Chains A and B, each alone.
Chain A
Amino acid sequence: MGFYADLLQILDSTLRLSTPLLFACLAGLFSERAGIFDIGLEGKMLIAAMASGAVAALTGTVWMGLGAGILASLCLAAIHGVASITFRGNQLISGVALNFLASGITVLVAQRLFGQGGRTPALSGDARFGEIVLPLTETLRPVPVIGPFYADVISGHALLVYVALLCVPLTWWVLFGTRFGLRLRAVGENPGAVDTAGVSVIRMRYTAVLITGILCGFAGAYMATALQAGFGKEMTAGRGYIALAALIFAKWRPWAALWACLLFGFFQALALRPDVVENVLTVKVPVPALDALPYVLTVLVLAGFVGKAIPPRAGGEAYVKER
């Protein structure tokens, strides 16, 4: 059973590590489906992580931290919106600039507040999201195979893990079952059609960008108050980019986004356990190779090896009324 125990452990970390990816990926999905490319997921996660870590440390309440994280992320989202929707700026440049801004300002603020070299103090107790033990965990544990899987993999995560998972069907329903979703998808494909139908392109796109901000806030807050116990410099470590890669891998679809994020989270979990990888494959795989896997897969998708990834057609273009 040693291998199964290892596997459960890896799957357990997979779920934990997939959660920020999933939040960020769904965040990007809303924005890009509305035609606004957002390379600034990373920056929004980072600033949310710092804000939530700091506020949770100062107030001792994780909920205040979560709120602060969402607010901070919303601020960056709003700047991205103003730059790329109102002023029709280049969306990639705006996103990159915001990433730089977040990278610098998080350390600066954390240092000014706490003087711990750009970190926020370690969180404990109510200042962190605790692990939730799902009902029936102990009852089911003796059941072979399924019991330990339920107890060790499914149960025992922070609330936000389950929230992230619930966001998948929710996003799917919003996108394909509601008026808002229809208009959101339309505005990313052909804003002219939305405009001539008498719906405001600007308002739709701002709404989408703000939803992105909220979801990135969740992603960042999860990083600082659940996955880790506090904010550390550059703690998102490229997860915003991996989430973008997952979004492309998933071809901008919510359920596929779930599987892509779980897959990429699984790679990250493997990178934490090179010993298990070595035992299974009988060769030593360098950790950087595992880290690179999500990007390699994304390049393969973009190159057309795994079906065709067609981005929303109006993506990246500011809308200008034309006759």
Chain B
Amino acid sequence: MTTNPAIELRGISKAFGPVQANSDINLRVERGTIHGIIGENGAGKSTLMSILYGFYKADAGEILIGGQPVAIPDSQAAIRAGIGMVFQHFKLVQNFTVLENVVLGAEDGALLRPSLAKARKLLADLARDYELEVDPDEVIEELSVGHQQRVEILKALYRQADILILDEPTGVLTPAEADHLFRILRGLKEQGKTVVLITHKLREIMEITDAVSVMRRGEMVATVTTAETSPEQLAELMVGRKVLLRVDKTPAVPGRTVLEVENLRVSDADGVERVKGISFSIRAGEILGIAGVAGNGQSQLLEVLGGISPATGTVRVNGDAIDLSGRHSNGQTRRARGIAHVPEDRQHLGLIMDFMAWENVIFGYHNDPAYQKNRLIMDNAGIVREAQAKMKRFDVRPPIPTLQAKSFSGGNQQKIVLARELERAPDLLLVGQPTRGVDIGAIEFIHQRLIELRDAGKAVLLVSVELDEILSLSDRIAVMFDGRIMGERDPAATNERELGLLMAGIAGEGAAA
């Protein structure tokens, strides 16, 4: 119709107190394209999109939709302007049906029945046109994450969105689900819709977008045509310096067996079995990566080995069985046995957010005689000095031990946890989602530390939902699905497709019992 861009932002600025989240952002998203927005955590991507969806009001600047200046004071206005948003954390009512969720807020009248009937018809059409099949009468909590995401897309399309914004849409999907999502997005593009994809995954940007805008520290640093750029160039634009995307490592030199797990079974508080009899071992000087979609028992495995929850079966560390009943063990006794734990959920299990960094740097080791002045009083001054040295070595920014844990960024919080666990040179390191919510620059640093630990002859159990991370760090890969190990693979001899099938529960050869 016209050559007007679907979205045009002019000079958008937004500050939260002293923090300038967006400064003077200009952006042009052409109609009928898939436009990527990439940047590190805290670069201001989500703030920008929240302004576009009426969650925040910009301090300055102008928004043009289809060439027309619009004011977007709330989500209702954004919807009217034809903008639909799929949030990273879905905004669905868990115990409502698909139909009810789609209709919510876009009902036709005071009575529900006619709205629901109309939505049912429309949903059938959308499902056919865009491969968005989903049972309209199913309750959300019964749906897989991939299907829940489809419901979010359906919600936007039901509201006749022309512009669809997706915030980190593949973080929770299996590779197969992600492929399906990309097919849907391409279908939407063919129908003339505009898609804005916010992500930190360079591979996705390269695979699906037409153009990509890079944000760094609240500024829009570049917009480039995807076909004319490379992952290396994008990474450099994001971070502001050259980044090593591949992890440099030498082949593993495995030694004696450090961890042996036999027939481990874990049930959760509701009595549901989450780990269903798994067995594996890790030797000194190797990293075993556990791949899998979140929620398939990996978290429970880490918690059991870390001494947080009880289990049945046998676990031997350096040849000696450890207590799994939970009656004679906890995180502290595990650490005394040389098992360090970097938990998946660092804000709840890894740190006490209101406590200062120096306190967090010794938790779990706080009974160490080295930290005591005498029987009653701890040697706080000494601990602070030591904490500061550790924080410097782990490049925690700022390296101020008296700041509360919550005042550090996600990456720096993770470095505090790593400083605590790695400096003790444990025999076995349990590490869950080491780089979740961590900037590219910090990811590089964390990966190097894990490789160093391995090269120092330690055993590492790495649990991650990031397949790239598993593939680049692991010496062996085990895939968990539904509480079982679906199979073990050599990272050099496998690929994402094969692992993806295992992650979806489709067994290949060599499935471990």
**Which residues does A use to contact B, with CB under 8 Å?**
176-183, 185-186, 189-190, 192-199, 313, 321, 323
Q: Complex formed: what's the CA distance from A136 to B244 in Å?
A: 90
In the complex the two chains form, is B110's CB within 8 Å of A178's CB?
Answer: yes
Known A-B contacts A190-B93, A195-B75; A183 and B105 likewise in contact (beta carbons under 8 Å) = yes
Can you list 10 A-B contacts (CB < 8 A)?
A: A177-B111, A178-B110, A178-B111, A183-B104, A189-B94, A193-B91, A193-B93, A193-B104, A197-B155, A199-B105
Residues of A with C-beta under 8 A to B115: 179
Q: Tell me if B100 and A182 are in contact (CB < 8 A).
A: yes
The 10 closest A-B pairs by CB, nearest first: A197-B105, A198-B76, A179-B107, A193-B91, A198-B75, A196-B91, A189-B93, A199-B105, A192-B91, A323-B46
Contact B87 A313 (CB under 8 A): no
Checking B50, B109, B113 against A323 with a beta-carbon cut-off of 8 angstroms, the contacting residue is B50
* A323 to B51 Cα, complex, angstroms: 10
Question: What A residues does B75 contact at CB under 8 A?
Answer: 195-198
Q: Which of A176, A196, A198 has the most CB of B within 10 A?
A: A196
B residues 101-147 touching A (CB-CB < 8 Å): 101, 103-107, 109-113, 115
Determine the distance from Cα of A182 to Cα of B115 in the docked complex, in whole angstroms. Answer: 12
A192 to B110: give the CA distance in the assembly, Å. 22
Write out the residue numbers on chain B whose beta carbons fall within 8 Å of the beta carbon of A189.
Answer: 93-96
Task: Name which residue of chain A comes closest to B101, CB basis.
Answer: A193
In the assembled complex, B182 has its CB within 8 A of some CB on chain A = no
A323-B55, A323-B167 known; 9 other A-B pairs, CB under 8 Å? Answer: A177-B113, A182-B104, A185-B93, A189-B95, A189-B96, A193-B91, A195-B75, A197-B75, A197-B106
Interface SS, A side? helix
Task: Report how far A82 CA is from B349 CA in the complex, Å.
Answer: 35
A185 cross-chain contacts in B, Cβ below 8 A: 93, 96
CB distance from A224 to the nearest CB of B (A): 35
Residues from chain B with a CB closer than 8 A to the CB of A176 are 112
Chain A nearest CB: distance from B123 CB in Å? 16
- Residues in B whose Cβ lies below 8 Å from that of A193: 91-93, 101, 104
Question: Distance (Å) between the CB of B115 and the closest chain A CB?
Answer: 7
- Are the CB atoms of A179 and B111 closer together than 8 Å? yes
Residues of B within 8 A of A190 (CB): 91-94
Chain A CB within 8 A of B24 CB: no
B 220-252 contacts with A by CB, 8 A: none
B106 and A181 form a contact (CB under 8 A):
no
CB distance from B152 to the nearest CB of A (A): 10
A323 surroundings in chain B (CB, below 8 A)? 46-47, 50, 55, 87, 167
- Report the interface size class on chain B: 20 to 34
Q: How far is the CB of A162 from chain B (nearest CB, A)?
A: 26
B486: A residues at CB distance < 8 A: none
**Which residues of chain B come closer than 8 Å to A192, judged between CB atoms?**
89, 91
Chain A CB within 8 A of B195 CB:
no
In the assembled complex, the Cα of A196 lies from the Cα of B105 at a distance in Å of 9
- Whether, in the assembled complex, B444 has its beta carbon less than 8 Å from a beta carbon of chain A, the answer is no
Q: How far is the CA of A197 from the CA of B94 in the complex (A)?
A: 15
Chain A CB within 8 A of B74 CB: yes
Task: Tell which of B78, B93, B94, B109 touches A179, judged by Cβ atoms closer than 8 Å.
Answer: B109
Complex formed: what's the CA distance from A199 to B94 in Å?
18
Bound CA span A189–B139, Å: 13
| Chain B 29-58 interface mask (CB, 8 Å, partner A; 1/0) | 000000000000000001100100101000
Give chain B interface residues in 290-344, CB to chain A under 8 Å: none
B110 touching A179, Cβ below 8 Å:
yes
Q: Does B79 contact A (CB under 8 A)?
A: yes
Q: In the assembly, what is the distance between CA of A192 and CA of B53, in Å?
A: 13
Nearest chain A residue, comparing its CB with the CB of B108: A179
Beyond A177-B113, A179-B115, A196-B87, whether A313 also contacts B94 by CB under 8 A is: yes
Task: Give Cα distance in the complex from A185 to B113, angstroms.
Answer: 16
Q: Is the CB of A182 within 8 A of B103?
A: yes
Across the two chains, which residue of chain B brings its CB closest to A199?
B105
Q: Which of B93, B96, B110 has the most CB of A within 10 A?
A: B93
Task: Tell me, rounded to whole Å, the shortest Cβ–Cβ distance linking A200 to chain B.
Answer: 8
* Smallest beta-carbon distance A303→chain B, Å: 14
Nearest-Cβ distance from residue B77 to partner chain A, whole angstroms: 8
Task: Give Cα distance in the complex from A196 to B84, angstroms.
Answer: 10
- Which residues of the partner chain A approach B155 to less than 8 Å between Cβ atoms? 197
Give the Cβ gap from B211 to chain A, nearest Cβ, in Å. 24
The one of A180, A199, A321 in contact with B110, judged by C-beta atoms closer than 8 angstroms, is A180
**Cross-chain contact B111 with A186 (CB below 8 angstroms):** no
Determine the chain B residues whose CB is within 8 A of the CB of A198 once the complex forms.
74-76, 78-79, 105-106
Q: Which residue of B lies closest to A192 (CB)?
A: B91
The interface residues of chain A lying within 8 Å CB-to-CB of B110 are 178-180
- CB-CB < 8 A to B79: which residues of A? 197-198
B87 touches A186 (CB 8 A): no
